[in-house]
Amino acid sequence: MTELSKIRNFSIVAHIDHGKSTLADRLIQETGTVAGRDMKAQLLDSMDIERERGITIKANTVRIDYKADDGENYVLNLIDTPGHVDFAYEVSRSMRAVEGSLLVVDSSQGVEAQTLANVYHAMEADHEIVPVLNKIDLPASDCDRVAEQIEDVIGIEATGAIQVSAKTGQGIHETLEAIVNELPAPTGTRDAPLKAMLVDSWYDSYLGVIVLVRIIDGELKKGMRVKFMSNDTLHSVDRIGVFRPEMETIDVLGPGEMGFLTASIKQVRDTRVGDTITNDRQGCEVALDGFKPAQPVVFCGLFPVDSAEFEDLRDAIDKLALNDASFTFEMETSAALGFGFRCGFLGLLHLEVVRDRIEREYNIELITTAPSVVYHVFMRDGTMVELHNPADMPDLTHVDHLEEPRIKATILVPDEYLGDVLKLCQDRRGLQEDLTYAGSRAMAVYDLPLNEVVFDFYDRLKSVTKGYASFDYQMTGYREDNLVKMSILVNDEPVDALSMMVHRDRADARGRAMVEKLKDLIPRHMFKIPIQAAIGGKVIARETLSALRKDVTAKCYGGDASRKRKLLDKQKKGKKKMRQFGKVDIPQEAFISALKMDS
């Protein structure tokens, strides 16, 4: 057990790619926590996908022993936090488990949108913040300019900021000294009942659920019976330990310390992040302020391309959910796509990560339907229903009005692209809230409907600014607007998987674009096929797919029966990849392509 005054708990906050993981690796390496030859790049990013995409998803932690220049031995607990907007919630909750942060800014780039978003989380958690200017080995590095920008935009003193190259190792020693000397030690009482914060949990196939904890007061020992205060469940602690970064079991964790416990817990869902863990008897009286659970904000349907793989998909989703309590799912059937699941995600990146993992780790090819946000539908009888799927829109005669989720988006962009960014935001029904300048960069703050952002906003933003813009958002609440459900009818039959919610003013343009696209995607049949977009009973756009006149067997001059059969068989095979709608076959790719909003 370590004395409180010798413990420092901290996180690193940074914009994506500014070098957070590289710096963490260096700190670990410099202190000899991992022998040089065991060092692989990006030690803390554990999942393959994280490594490939270079993004950190699951919060992780590592305990570092450091003998400081004052001759004392310190224990430094570094909590790793995800850097992407979708996981802002994980950032804010893990911040509450530590007392300080290193603010890492790439000195060749400067402050970006996620620098701001993440540093605000640190400030909200009352952190002491130590600024670190990274990548000073790069020729474009300009520490004075970036320090000034940090002072201007964030409002923290940065003239004396530590100058670091996580690549060459320069400034790493100074960083360790700053952690010891500038960050506060934790406080807590050893001879009090146990009070520990459940910081995170994940599923491990050997050990079951692993729970990351921060001890506030008291001691956590192996063999103890503990209570999770949110639901009064009791557990026997099998094992406790720390990450260095590999797991090492120890006997006791005291106040101020961070580590893990296992207690034969079967599912991540049985643990609530932010919960308070205490003794089963005579525990602490007041629980820590609970955190609100993360709410999925983007929903979409996942269907197997090959309907025979539905059970495999169910299996994959069950397994993924073991480790990801923020992802929700329920079974869905669609006339067009068969059996699948309607799934809820924290954001688009989260959706992509889950979809990639299903395709890659479980080898199931998927059809993803259009992502939709959650609308609030206010009925005439005064009740409100949440609408997760446009196909479930109630009968309009019972609906009073609709509300849609809005976000506050912060975009940082070099001056020369500002015009394009403002236009993009305007096009997406954005309302400007603020526009300021820091050096040659502009910061625009917009109030936008989430619905206009989930699809391809980020891609468009990247492309109009050649990748120079950075973007971050937070949900702000719901607002009423003139929203309607647009249905698509093929040969006079409504096709549910293609219906979507749109703003009334945009409906005509969307409808037109959609029917034109479908006309290209649906093959011609023996008869004429009208393709229509409609709101309620009113058709707002229409195309007609002309009839196919040629009979495929016509070339066979009646004579050769086997050849004729072969041709018909071939035609039948081709049909398998289609879904029949009334009398019309719609190829599967039509569902995805038609919904893509490339303007």
Ligand X SMILES: Nc1nc2c(ncn2[C@@H]2O[C@H](COP(=O)(O)OP(=O)(O)OP(=O)(O)O)[C@@H](O)[C@H]2O)c(=O)[nH]1
In the annotated binding site, the residues are 17-22, 134-137
Whose CA is closest to 321, among 306, 339, 341, 304?
Answer: 341
Q: Of the ranges 50-58, 180-188, 364-372, 425-433, which one interacts with ligand X (CB under 6 A)?
A: 50-58
Q: How many residues bind ligand X (CB under 6 A)?
A: 19
Which tokens sit at 441?
């960069």
Nearer to ligand X, 245 or 274 (CB): 245
Contact between 141 and ligand X (CB under 6 A)? no
Spell out the residues 6+ positions from residue 187 whose beta carbon is closer than 8 angstroms to its own: 4, 255, 256
Q: Which of residues 395-424 bind ligand X (CB under 6 A)?
A: none
From CA 325, how far away is CA 319, in angstroms rounded? 11
Q: 3-class SS at 251?
A: coil
Nearer to ligand X, 55 or 183 (CB): 55
Q: Which of 7, 8, 11, 16 binds ligand X (CB under 6 A)?
A: 16
User: Which residues are registered as beta bridge partners of 438?
Assistant: 441
Neighbours of 313 (CB within 10 A): 22
From CA 501, how far away is CA 396, in angstroms rounded? 13
State how far the alpha carbon of 498 is from the alpha carbons of 61, 259, 330, 378, 507, in Å. 44, 48, 19, 23, 14
State how far the alpha carbon of 409 is from the alpha carbons of 105, 154, 393, 470, in Å. 21, 17, 28, 10
Contact between 165 and ligand X (CB under 6 A)? yes
Nearer to ligand X, 243 or 455 (CB): 243
What x/- string results for residues 454 through 483 when contact with ligand X is judged by CB under 6 A?
A: ------------------------------
Q: Of the ranges 17-25, 70-78, 241-249, 391-399, which one interacts with ligand X (CB under 6 A)?
A: 17-25
Q: Which of 34, 55, 288, 391 binds ligand X (CB under 6 A)?
A: 55
Nearer to ligand X, 35 or 140 (CB): 140
Nearer to ligand X, 175 or 491 (CB): 175
Do residues 29 and 36 touch, judged by C-beta distance below 8 A? yes
Q: Which of 30, 137, 142, 456 binds ligand X (CB under 6 A)?
A: 137
Q: Which of residues 167-206 bind ligand X (CB under 6 A)?
A: 167
Q: Beta strand 128-134 with 100-106: parallel, antiparallel or unpaired?
A: parallel
In the complex, the smallest distance separating the C-beta of residue 165 from ligand X, rounded to whole angstroms, is 4
Q: Which of 58, 96, 135, 428 binds ligand X (CB under 6 A)?
A: 135
User: Which residues are registered as beta bridge partners of 73?
Assistant: 67
In the complex, the smallest distance separating the C-beta of residue 124 from ligand X, rounded to whole angstroms, is 20
Q: Of the ranges 159-167, 444-452, 488-496, 522-530, which one interacts with ligand X (CB under 6 A)?
A: 159-167
Q: What is the largest distance, in Å, between two alpha-carbon atoms of the chain?
A: 99
Q: Which of 7, 13, 14, 316 binds ligand X (CB under 6 A)?
A: 14
State how far the alpha carbon of 54 is from the alpha carbons of 22, 47, 49, 57, 95, in Å. 11, 10, 8, 10, 21
Whose CA is closest to 137, among 22, 233, 230?
Answer: 22
In the complex, the smallest distance separating the C-beta of residue 107 from ligand X, rounded to whole angstroms, is 9
Q: Of the ranges 54-62, 289-297, 400-408, 443-451, which one interacts with ligand X (CB under 6 A)?
A: 54-62
Contact between 143 and ligand X (CB under 6 A)? no
Alpha-carbon torsion angle 476, 480, 485, 486, nearest 10 = -90
Do residues 379 and 394 touch, judged by C-beta distance below 8 A? yes
Q: 3-class SS at 562?
A: helix
Do residues 64 and 44 touch, judged by C-beta distance below 8 A? no
Which tokens sit at 228?
């999770």
Q: Which of 54, 293, 394, 536 binds ligand X (CB under 6 A)?
A: 54
Q: Which of 138, 322, 335, 464 binds ligand X (CB under 6 A)?
A: 138
Contact between 83 and ligand X (CB under 6 A)? yes
Q: Which of 116, 166, 229, 521 binds ligand X (CB under 6 A)?
A: 166
Do residues 263 and 204 touch, judged by C-beta distance below 8 A? no
Tokens 């299996």 correspond to what residue? 315
Q: Which of 22, 77, 163, 389 binds ligand X (CB under 6 A)?
A: 22
Contact between 134 and ligand X (CB under 6 A)? yes
Contact between 534 and ligand X (CB under 6 A)? no
Q: Beta strand 128-134 with 162-163: parallel, antiparallel or unpaired?
A: parallel
Q: Of the ranges 130-138, 383-391, 435-443, 469-477, which one interacts with ligand X (CB under 6 A)?
A: 130-138
Nearer to ligand X, 165 or 271 (CB): 165
- Residues in the site for ligand X, rule: CB under 6 A? 14, 16-22, 54-56, 83, 134-135, 137-138, 165-167
